[in-house]
Structure 1
Amino acid sequence: MLEWFSNLDSVWKYCIAGVGIIAMLALAIWVVDAIRQMVFRSKFHEQYGVNLPHSVRIKRYRHEDDPIGTLVLRFPYWSAAKRDGTRDQRTKNTTICYQKSLIDIGPWGLSDKNPLVMYRIALDLRAQGHAVGYCQEEKIKRQSVMEQVNAQRSATSVANIVAQFRSQPTDFEPFCADVFRNLGWSAEVTPPVRDGGFDLKLYDPHGVSFIAECKCYEPTHRVGRPIIQKLQGANTTVGARGMMVITTSGFSRDAVTYANQVGVRLIDGDMLVRLCAQAFGESDAQPVPASTFALTRNDIMQHIPADMWNMF
């Protein structure tokens, strides 16, 4: 029996020694990796003039890649999520699934699970004169911005405005919002579903509230009285100080009479063109600066579930 305990004691000693060796190896690997990361960060800074946060992992490829960098933003998500991306409380053990955003430039590969950090690095690289291609989110924003700019530049006649939005009439509402923003107003587009009977919430430069309905019609079409009645009915709930209907066409005689009675401002196609001229001026003479396509923090946060925002 004593011999058995003696053998067991020896086994425990070997186990403890083995665990100690493994721990020392793990520590050695961690130290070597930390030193390697520090050296790589220093070399990256020497080459590109950008400091990397400690959360960013950096690796070096054997062969230098294309000098034009690539940026891929990836966003965290819940393993079980609702339609809006937030955590599904009905599912137990729901976890956050992190995806690493990536930058590859020259011989270097960078990664971090925080897309805001990686996008900041991409902007810093560009500021230092290094080429980093647009990520998918920037391409989408660029397309959206250029569509808005093209709409503004073509808003020199009713026919041009109608042609611009004929295939996508719902884009007319954001366009009208841009018109008022450029005139110094605050403008918000209501959701396309359950919009409450109006398309825009507006505040003039003095803070007076308005709601507006936007209708992109062919010039021969006339907006009738029912549209104005619907807007007036919506305002019984909203309580805005003013109301307006904006259209690319005109208004029926009955609609004009009723609008005057209830105090609704009417903006027809010709007046809209004049407002566009005031709002956008000679915008076609000015190139669109590349900074216009840069993502804001809010742009990036829209890709992250709302119940994770406090983590970023």
Structure 2
Amino acid sequence: MTDWRTALLRRNKRRKKSNGVEAIVGGLLALFFLGIVANHAGAVFGLLLVLIFMAVGAVILRSSLRKHALAALLEKAGAAARQHMEALLRRRAQLVRLDPYGKPQAEKWSKELDYFVQQHLKPALTAAEQVTLSRNREEVLKAIEVQVAAASATQNPFAKFSDHFTPSEFETFCAETLREHGWDAQVTQQSHDQGVDVVASKAGHRVVIQCKLYSSPVGNKAVQEAAAGRAHERADFGIVVSNNRYTTAAEQLAKTNRVLLLHYRDLSNLDAILDRHANVAS
């Protein structure tokens, strides 16, 4: 073999050996870089997981803090309601009315609750509590209503007469007294009462009542209003109920107009009084 051929063969062998080494080195380098990428991908994925857990944790924490703040606010609202329960019971009894179909009408009572929260609860709250109130106002109003409604089932604010009654409270007191004795009694809308404060019915009797909370004897005007109300409502009797006595003129006018003049204590015995007057009339 000539020298040049021998040199060529040797050079090819060296190239093959060099290419093998380069392939091995290239493979090792590729594996190294892939490892780096894989390591970085794991780090990025881990970072994403951390961020996701942090976001979820923040949402859970915020929700937990808001629930805690709401619970504290509801407790404060409950304490305010308990402090003013007697007044709230009176207002509820006055403002919740039944429509002609027996369905409760609570719009005025809802406005009263909103007024209570705005004027009596909110000023006692911190700035943070006021923010919680703005987010959960309906829930707070509902909680107070549930509390007052539960109390009204066991406490009658008009069970006893009070010298401190307002005229509208006296009307509610008369209606509540009749209900306790089996009457279906409703306080009328004041703007459309036609001389009637309370309409009541029981066992075939239908009466209209004028409620007069007076510091002096009741005169003819009340009798005239009760007589007009009886005619308008087509009731059996018109009744004037008062905490005071009646003038002689009022008594005389009442006798000729089917109007009864009663003291509020007579309401518990109204059935017997009506039966007696019905028998006299017949």
TM range (shorter): 0.3 to 0.5
More helix by share: 2
Normalised by the length of structure 1, the TM-score is: 0.40
Higher RCO (CA-CA < 8 Å; seq separation 6+): 1
Normalised by the length of structure 2, the TM-score is: 0.44
The structure number with the bigger radius of gyration is: 2
More strand by share: 1
